[in-house]
């Protein structure tokens, strides 16, 4: 599967893992978003459901076992090159998740993983859609 300059959009899933007034973010170890904070997630694999994918990706990147709940949103992530061609094109499906077990540990393509409070998010550079879905997660988690 070619992620850079794909011949069709890729389906990705994201885990909005909320506990109290905190959310888990990972620092990406690969493009796109290399070195930037984002929500745990990745590409749907053949033969798995979206919810299975979000559980797998959360465990791979954070060490946490999660239970996916409500669908929070569907987002486009389209990054074009200097010539206007789609360098990366994802359709992202994000779920509110709660931690069931596990210990927070950066793994897979995450170079760091941390809990962030709502207040701390003000100091983190996030894509507008990412911040939007995190705030929805806080609202739904109560």
pLDDT surpasses 80 at 24:
yes
Number of H helices, E strands in the chain: 2, 7
pLDDT value of position 35: 81
Reduced DSSP (H G I as helix, E B as strand, rest coil) percent helix, strand, coil of the chain, to 5:
20, 45, 35
Cβ–Cβ < 8 Å for 92, 74:
yes
**Residue 32, pLDDT above cutoff 90:** no
The 10s digit of each residue's pLDDT in 54-69 is 999 999 999 999 999 9
Could you give the percent of the chain with pLDDT greater than 70? 97
CA 106, CA 4: separation in Å to the nearest integer?
Answer: 24
pLDDT band at 1 (very low <50, low <70, confident <90, very high): low
What pLDDT score was predicted for residue 36? Answer: 87
For 76-107, the pLDDT digits (tens) are 999 999 999 999 999 999 999 999 999 999 88
Q: What is the pLDDT of residues 33-59, one digit of tens each?
A: 778 899 999 999 999 999 999 999 999
Comparison of pLDDT for 138 and 1, the residue scoring more: 138
Contacts of 96 (CB under 8 A, 6+ apart): 16, 18, 68, 69, 70, 72, 136, 137, 140, 141
Question: How much is the average pLDDT of 112-129?
Answer: 93
Domains of the chain: 10-141 (3.90.79.10)
């Amino acid at each position: 599967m070619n992620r850079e300059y794909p011949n069709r959009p890729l389906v990705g899933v994201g885990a909005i893992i909320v506990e109290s007034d905190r959310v888990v973010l990972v620092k990406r170890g690969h493009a796109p978003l290399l070195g930037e904070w984002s929500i745990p997630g990745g590409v749907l694999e053949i033969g798995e459901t979206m919810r299975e994918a979000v559980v797998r990706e959360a465990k791979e990147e954070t060490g946490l076992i999660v239970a996916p709940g409500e669908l929070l949103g569907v987002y486009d992530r389209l990054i074009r090159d200097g010539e206007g061609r789609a360098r990366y094109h994802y359709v992202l499906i994000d779920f509110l998740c709660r931690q069931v077990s596990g210990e927070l540990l950066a793994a897979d393509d995450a170079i760091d993983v941390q809990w962030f409070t709502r207040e701390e998010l003000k100091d983190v550079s996030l894509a507008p859609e990412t911040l939007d879905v995190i705030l929805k997660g806080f609202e739904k988690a109560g």
